[in-house]
Structure 1
Amino acid sequence: MNEAKVKAALLAEIRRKYSRFKRPLVTTEFTLGDSGVRADLIHFSRKSTAFEIKTERDSLRRLHAQIAAYSQFFSNVVAIIAPNHLAKITPEILGRAALWTYDARGKFSVVLPGRSERISPDIQYNLIHESNKKFSTFLEYAESRYAQTSQKFWEVTQGRSIKTEDLKFLSRFHEERETAAQFIRDREDYWNEWLAAQICPHSCQSSSVSSARAGSS
């Protein structure tokens, strides 16, 4: 399974724990402040969870640093590791993070449960950029920033399995990208029609003349 398939399965797993009337607040590729470290998926709550996914083709070289970074800011940390990497995972790499693995069908199993810790709200608040310090808490900021995309994602996938192509709905920039792509398509259509209109009078006139000569002969 590639990372997108694991994410889709993970989101389905998270969804199963909620009723259809209450959907969790989630986002993918969450950057931890200015650190450059990016969590594969975050489930925001009063005890938020950061998930790091390592597929069979991924390297574990950065895993220890990633887990250490997530553990500073999130109550729960989960490392989701492909079966072929499990033998390489040590307690030093995991710290307090839980260890999960998965099978070819996307079914998860818990290898080690991990340990939850209370994170100071002041520490989490450091994840908010200065321009967004109008929010009083990190969770309030997360709700403002990601509630719309989360709601869209759960609405689109309601009543069916979650597919890899659904992940795009968790992007805050998806609609802007779609609008920009449509603008480019419309502009290309306009210029193609304009060019055809410029060429056609000459080609059509030549065809008419040729037809007239052929008729007179």
Structure 2
Amino acid sequence: MKQVKILTSTDASIRTPLLSWLRQQHPDHLTAKMLEEFKMPRPSARIDVALVNGEMAGFEIKSDRDTLNRLTVQIPAFSKFFDRVSLVTTPRHLKDAKSKIPAWWGIVVFGDDGRFRVVRTSRRNKNVDVRALLFALSKKELIQVARMADAILATTLRKETMVEVLTSTIASSVICNLAREVIKIRTTCC
């Protein structure tokens, strides 16, 4: 009689050990911050875990009970925003994941033994959209970015105008670094 494997992993059964695993590699102190359910408004998406350090790394969980269908929307959104992205999945999705996600994305497999195995290390995204990153900040946070860059930004401006002013007056690499710093000091995620 053929044995049927029961699909047991869920987002929750992977997330808790993932957070512990990431904390072991990146202790939550002044240089690293982990945020769950990180929202990106343009395009609208939410990643399961964002690790903010010298760069923004995103971790999207796909458990046995998930499908990979939403990746068609998530890939472009996450690829605009994060410096690195890793899909955290199970052996069930490994083959399909390899063919669906960009080559620069990492793949981490959560095994039946409760351990994580890096199948493919993420590489640096060369196409981060600075505007998308800025739209993830509140107006108050945009003003913080401006102050940190010794720039002047009127508090009465619309958010779209604030983003335009920042992107036209401050180098993209500086904006990315300052935006990361502002995100790290958030007390809650989004």
User: Is TM (by shorter chain) over 0.5?
Assistant: yes
Aligned residues: 149
Structure 2: state its 5+ residue gaps: 1-8, 146-177
Cα offset, 1:75, TM superposition: 0.7
Q: Select the structure of larger CA radius of gyration.
A: 1
Partners of 1:55 and 1:11 in 2: how far apart? 15
**Which amino acid is 1:96 matched to?**
W
Give the structure 2 partner of residue 52 of structure 1.
60
Rounded Cα–Cα distance in structure 1 between residues aligned with 2:183 and 2:40: 12
Match of 1:109 in 2: 117
- Give the Å deviation of 1:29: 0.7
Deviations 1:170-209 (A, max 9, x none): x78xxxxxxxxxxxxxxxxxxxxxxxxxxxxxxxxxxxxx
Equivalent of 1:140 in 162, 175, 181: 181
Distance 2:47 2:38 in 1: 5
Of 4, 27, 45, the residue aligned with 2:35 is 27
What do you get for the CA RMSD once the two structures are aligned? 2.5
**How far apart, in 2, do the equivalents of 1:75 and 1:145 lie?**
19
Change (3 A) 1:18 1:90: closer
Q: Which residue pairs with 1:37 in the alignment?
A: 45
Structure with bigger strand share is: 2
In 2, Cα distance between equivalents of 1:52 and 1:28:
10
Superposed displacement of residue 88, structure 1: 1.8
Q: Distance in 2 between matches of 1:117 and 1:87?
A: 22
CA distance 1:121–1:45, shift in 2 (3 Å): farther
Q: Structure 1-normalised TM-score?
A: 0.60
CA distance in 2 between partners of 1:20 and 1:27 (Å) = 10
Gaps of 5+ in 1: 150-170, 173-217
Q: Deviations over 1:109-156 (max 9, x none)?
A: 11222321354655522322335321213113212313xx5xxxxxxx
1:99 aligns with 2:140: no
